[in-house]
Amino acid sequence: MTNAVTSRIDVVASRARDGEFCTRVIEESGQAVYACYQCQRCGGGCPVASAAGTTPSHFLRLLTLGLVDEALKDPLLWFCVGCATCGARCPNEISTNEVIDRFRALTSDKRDIAGEAKDIRIFHRLFLKQIRYLGRSHELLLIGALKMATRKLLKDVGLGITMFKKGKIPLVPHLTGGIPEVRSIFRKRAGKR
Ligand code: SF4
Ligand code: SF4
């Protein structure tokens, strides 16, 4: 078998894997993604669409086409704040945030993403880890962990000092009383994977 044929087989196999992955994300999200007819009502209400430069329906389209790498590079994947406005505005009741949540959860750590999206993914993981163990976020711990993980020790130092002086970054974490319940939510989510 020639190298050209082998590499073409690899490409076809990789696309098939991506297609299966997207199908799994869509199924586990429980959303009627294939019913989307691109009316853009979701994008009109999404508070982060302009910052992301894309729309919830665009993200859905990438998944239905099985384009995992493109979806990983879509800023909306990491900018989405889970406000659920997209689902409330959608005539087909498609909550894109549910799809995004499943995509984030199922995306393998080994999958390469570049640039700002890589740091946002690291932040996302660290933030969830902190919520899981402390029940809420603690800015100072989160900043420290993020700087170690991204190795960008001096980035935004000036901003951090200003926030600290204004009392926006407390030294001691405030724990919540509901940590067992929070952990139970994480266990239930993990069971869905
Ligand atoms: S509002 Fe619903 S149907 Fe319209 S583009 Fe968005 S997801 Fe698709
Ligand atoms: S849940 Fe996410 S995608 Fe949907 S409107 Fe809010 S920020 Fe946009």
pLDDT in tens, 89-143: 999 999 999 999 899 888 755 566 666 667 878 888 898 888 888 888 888 899 9
Q: Ligand 1 pocket by C-beta < 6 Å: which residues?
A: 36-42, 56-57, 60, 89-92, 94
CA distance 113 to 54: 18
Instruction: Return the structure tokens found at 25.
Output: 């994300």
pLDDT of residue 113: 63
Q: 58: CA distance to ligand 1 center in Å?
A: 9
Domain count, the chain: 2
pLDDT of residue 192: 57
Q: 64: CA distance to ligand 2 center in Å?
A: 18
Give the chain's residues under pLDDT 70. Answer: 1, 4-12, 14, 108-117, 191-193
CB-based contact 94:31 (threshold 8 Å): yes
Domain coverage including residue 160: 114-193
Q: Among the atoms of ligand 2, which is closest to the Cα of residue 82?
A: 1
Q: Is the CB of 60 under 6 A from ligand 2?
A: no
- Give the Å distances, CA to CA, from 155 to 47, 83, 130, 152: 26, 29, 21, 6
Query: Is 126 found in the same domain as 90?
Result: no
Query: Is 87 found in the same domain as 119?
Result: no
